[in-house]
Amino acid sequence: MTQHLLKAEIHCHLEGAAPPSLAEAQARKYGMETSHIIQDGSYRWSDFSEFLVCYDAVASLFRTAEDYALLTETYLAELSAANTIYSEIIISPDHGDRIGLGADAYLAGICDGIEAAREKTGIETRIIITGERHFGVDRVVAAAEYAARNRHPLMTGFNMAGEERMGRVADYARAFDIARDAGLGLTIHAGEVCGAFSVGDALELVKPARIGHGVRAIEDPAVVERLVELGTVLEVCPGSNIALNVYPDFASHPLKQLKAAGVRVCINSDDPPFFHTSLAREYEIAAQEFGMGDAEINAMSRTALESAFVDEDTRTRLLARLDSAPTA
């Protein structure tokens, strides 16, 4: 049982956290059909490309700042009920733009949800702006420019998600230069759908503090060595990797190998209802499937907080909370 453990996560996509029941309620509100994306209460997709299409369709059901406040607060309340003290949510201004809401109102709604959740539960949250690789280089650069221009105190990081097979990291490096110059923390999806070369490219061209997934680094010992040398944190999402068939089962998943090699890792939920998971379940997976005890799991929560994109006072406070919690 891991319910008693304090939890932290640094890799969850906001629209990817929408419960299917909430997406259905949104669809009713706007008179939209959902049978192509939701069946029997579950999201429907069969491979990574279809998952991205389904994700974008779900995002299009949230259309006002209030819709986004509700989605954000709903997710953070669920996290808090599972003893989570810190969350970083990945959001895409493109989704605000694509439904005609605009990035500013999209962000304002999400911030309202974060404040409401903090008031009710005390959960600490930060926002990572992401470019979506499959929307093209110009959109990813525009997302970075947006993040650099709008230095909201809750917006502390920049990411790139989406179709990893589209282009090479070099094509998108300018976006990360813009975000780095603005003082944002950097993380990038790599080594999920593509192999170790993608992690190697990310390390050399983006120099991120963290990598989203990164698990396929295991395919090249030189890339694993570089991760160790640089201290780059991997935001590992085991349930997502199994659902998307990156690995056939937990026994084949390299989490333990990466850890044993000295790579810094933590566990995350990615897009929980899309992958029939939750942060609470990922902690259970760490215990049940990977055989980790409380101390080993707490060490991963500590890694998440050590690499969180927060000011040092907040980090110190969160780490003290984690360290003072009873573990048994």
Binding site for ligand ADE (CB under 6 A): 13, 16, 55, 161-162, 189, 192, 240, 270-271
Which of 55, 75 has the CB closer to ligand ADE?
A: 55
**What six digits make up the tokens of 228?**
């160790």
Cα dihedral sign, 34-39-42-48: negative
Q: Taking each helix axis as running N to C, give the angle between helix 65-81 and helix 20-29, from 0 to 180 degrees, rounded to the nearest 10.
A: 160
Q: 192 is in the binding site of which of Zn ion, ligand ADE, none (Cβ under 5 to 8 A by kind)?
A: ligand ADE
Q: Which residue lies nearer to ligand ADE by CB, 124 or 164? A: 164
Least distance in angstroms from the C-beta of 244 to Zn ion? 10
* Interface region with Zn ion, contact rule CB under 5 A, candidates 145-153, 217-225, 269-277, 304-312: 269-277
Residues between 164 and 223 that touch Zn ion (CB under 5 A): 212
What is the rounded distance in angstroms from the CA atom of residue 88 to the CA atom of residue 16? 13
The answer to whether residue 306 is catalytic is no
Contact 103, 93 (CB under 8 A): yes
Q: How far is the CB of 242 from ligand ADE (least distance, A)?
A: 12
Per rule CB under 5 A, is residue 15 in the interface with Zn ion? no
Residues 306 and 244: their CA atoms lie apart, in Å, by 28
Identify the active-site residue in 15, 164, 192, 289: 192
- Tokens 């990360």 locate to 176
Name the segment binding Zn ion (CB under 5 A); options: 37-45, 194-202, 266-274, 319-327: 266-274
Minimum CB separation from ligand ADE for residue 123, in Å? 21
Q: Which is nearer to Zn ion, 185 or 212 (CB)?
A: 212
Q: Which residue's CB is nearer to ligand ADE, number 134 or number 180?
A: 134
What is the C-alpha separation between 21 and 28, in angstroms, rounded?
A: 11
How many Å apart are CA 112 and CA 69, to the nearest integer? 6
For the CB of residue 328, give the shortest distance to ligand ADE in the complex, in Å.
34
The answer for residues whose C-beta is within 8 angstroms of residue 228's C-beta and 6 or more apart is 261, 262, 263
Nearest distance in Å: CB 274, ligand ADE: 8
Does the footprint of Zn ion cover residue 88 (CB under 5 A)? no
Residue 56 interacts with Zn ion (CB under 5 A)?
Answer: no
Cα distances from 25 to residues 19, 29, 56, 57, 100, in angstroms, run: 10, 6, 17, 14, 20
Q: Does 270 bind Zn ion (CB under 5 A)?
A: yes
Measured distance CA(61)–CA(22) in Å, rounded? 10
Please give the residue ranges that form the binding site for Zn ion (CB under 5 A): 212, 270
Positions marked catalytic:
192
